[in-house]
Structure 1
Amino acid sequence: MSLKNYSHEESKKLSMIELANAIMLDEKKAMNFKDVFEQIANIKEFSDADKAANIAQFYTDLNVDGRFITIGSNMWGLKRWYPVETMDEEVAAAPKKKKKTKKKKKEEESLDLVEEELDIVDEDIEEMADDFDDDEEDEFDADLEEDLEDEDDEDDEEDVEDEDTKDKK
C-alpha cells in the first residue's frame, strides 16, 4: 500500500497509523517520529492546535500497533523489515547502570559519624584513664602516708613499751 495509490481526499480519510504505514513503505527506511508525524499532519492538513491534540494519540497508536517497532533514538520502522534474531540485538540497547551516589553518600556519612563517635569515645576513655590515674595516685599517696604514720605510731608505742619494761626491771 503506497500513498501514490490514494487520491488526496482518500489519504485525508485514512487513519494516522495507516498513513504512517504507507509513508514508511514509500520511504523504505526507519524514520524519526517527528518527521513521520509532520508528513501525516501535512496530508491531513492539521493546524497547530490539531497537531498538539493528536501527537500523543499517534505516539500511543505507534506503540500499540504490532506493525511498528522503535529502533531507538526516537526512530521508528516496520517490524517486517527486521528479522527476529536481529531485532533483539538492534532494539535492545545495553541497560545502563543506575548511579548509586545517594546511597553511597549516606553510607559514607554514616561511616564518618561512626568514626567520629568512636574518636569521641576514645578521647573520653583517655581522659577518664588520666583522671583515674590521678585519683589512684592521690589515694595511693594518702594510703602510704597513713601507713607510714601508723608505723610511726606503732614504733612509738613499741618504744614506749620498751621503756616501760626497762623501767620495771
Structure 2
Amino acid sequence: MSLKDLSHEEIKGMSLIELTGMILKEEKKALHFNEIFDRISEFREFTNKEKEKKIAQFYTDMNIDGRFTTTGSNMWGLRSWYPVEQQDEEVHAPVKKKKTVAKKKKTPIEKDAAFDDELGELDDEDDLDLDEVIDDEDLDVEDEDLDNFIEDFDDEEMEVDEED
C-alpha cells in the first residue's frame, strides 16, 4: 500500500517509524535523515514547534528499531537491503593514516635542558608560604579536646595491661 492511498486519518494514526518504513519502501533507496523527517512532517502536518519536539525522539527510535540502518553520512535505508558485509564496509570505511614528519631527535644535553626548564617552572609554584596555606582557624584544637583524647588513650592502655 502506498502512502498516497492512505487517508489523512490513517496517516495520523501511524507511528513515525511505520511511515519511515513506507517512505523507504516506495523510494527503494537510502534517504538522508532530514529528507525522511521532512516528508513525515508534511504527511503529518507538523508545525515547526512540533518538529523541534519530535526530531530527537524520532532519531533515537530509528537507531533503536532493527528495521533501519545508517549507511554513513546520515543516510538511512532498510536493513533488509544491505547484506552484513556491505554494511560494515560503508559504515566502517578505513581511515587514512596521515603522514607524519619525523621529529629531530634531541641530544642528551638538550633533553636535560628541557627537563630543567620544566623543573624550574614547578619549583616556582611550590614555593608557597606554608603560613598562608595553614591558617590558625584550621588548627582549632582546644586543650579540653586534647585532655579528653589523652584520657581515652590512657584508659585503653590500662585495659590492655589488665588483660595480660
TM-score w.r.t. the length of structure 1 is 0.57
- Does 2:22 match 1:22? yes
CA deviation string 1:6-45 (max 9, x = no partner): 2221012111111111111111100000000000111111
- Does 2:139 match 1:114? no
Percent sequence identity over matched residues?
53
Matches within 5 A, 1:48-67: 48-67=48-67
Matches within 5 A, 1:6-21: 6-21=6-21
Matches within 5 A, 1:47-86: 47-86=47-86
Name the amino acid aligned to 1:65.
D
> What's 2:136 paired with?
none
Answer yes or no: is the 8 Å Cα contact 1:2–1:25 preserved in 2. Answer: no
SS in 2 for 1:23: helix
Query: Which whole-Å CA distance do the structure 2 matches of 1:97 and 1:116 have between them?
Result: 33
CA-atom RMSD in angstroms: 3.3
Query: Which whole-Å CA distance do the structure 2 matches of 1:8 and 1:45 have between them?
Result: 10
Query: Which whole-Å CA distance do the structure 2 matches of 1:112 and 1:23 have between them?
Result: 69
Higher Rg of the two aligned structures: 1
CA deviation string 1:61-93 (max 9, x = no partner): 000000000011110000001112222222222
TM-score w.r.t. the length of structure 2 is 0.58
CA deviation string 1:110-167 (max 9, x = no partner): x9973426899xxxxxxxxxxxxxxxxxxxxxxxxxxxxxxxxxxxxxxxxxxxxxxx
Answer yes or no: is the 8 Å Cα contact 1:37–1:55 preserved in 2. Answer: yes
Task: Name structure 2 gaps, 5 residues minimum.
Answer: 99-104, 118-164
The total of aligned residue pairs comes to 112
SS in 2 for 1:72: coil
> What's 1:137 paired with?
none
> What's 1:32 paired with?
32
Task: Name structure 1 gaps, 5 residues minimum.
Answer: 99-107, 121-169
Query: Which whole-Å CA distance do the structure 2 matches of 1:118 and 1:61 have between them?
Result: 54
Distance 1:35 1:117, change over 3 A: closer
Could you list the structure 1 runs, at least 4 aligned residues long, displaced by more than 3 angstroms after superposition.
95-98, 111-115, 117-120
SS in 2 for 1:76: strand
SS in 2 for 1:77: strand
Structure number having the greater helix percentage = 1
